[in-house]
Amino acid sequence: FREPGGSTVAEEIRRVVKTHKMEQLSQSLLFLAARRELVNQLREFRDSFDLILLDRFDISTLVYQLMSPRLSDEEADLISKLNNHIIEDFIPDATVYVYCDPEVAAERTHQRNRKLDAIEMTNDMFEIAKRYEYAFSVLTGRDVVRIDNTSDFHGSERQIYKNLDALFSLNSKTS
Q: Per-residue pLDDT for 24 more than 70?
A: yes
**36 pLDDT tier (thresholds 50, 70, 90):** very high
Share of the chain above pLDDT 70, in %: 87
At 52 the pLDDT is 78
DSSP SS3 for 61: helix
Q: Per-residue pLDDT for 16 more than 90?
A: yes
Give the span between the Cα atoms of 167 and 169, in whole angstroms.
Answer: 6
Mean pLDDT, residues 62-75:
79
Q: Per-residue pLDDT for 27 more than 60?
A: yes
At 26 the pLDDT is 94
Range of 11-15, 132-136, 149-153 with top mean pLDDT = 11-15
Containing H/E element for 148?
Answer: strand 143-148
DSSP states of 72-126: -HHHHHHHHHHHHHHHTT---SEEEEEE--HHHHHHHHHHTT----HHHHHS-HH
Provide the Cα torsion 18, 19, 24, 29; round to 10°.
Answer: -70
At 175 the pLDDT is 34
Q: What is the mean pLDDT of the chain?
A: 80
Q: Tell me how crowded residue 119 is: count the other CB atoms within 10 A of its CB.
A: 16
Nearest to 25 by CA among 57, 71, 69: 71
Q: Per-residue pLDDT for 173 more than 50?
A: no
Mean pLDDT, residues 102-129:
74
Q: Is the pTM of this model over 0.85?
A: no
Query: What 8-state DSSP symbol labels residue 136?
Result: H
At 117 the pLDDT is 73
Check residues 150 and 142 and name the one with the higher pLDDT: 150
At 33 the pLDDT is 94
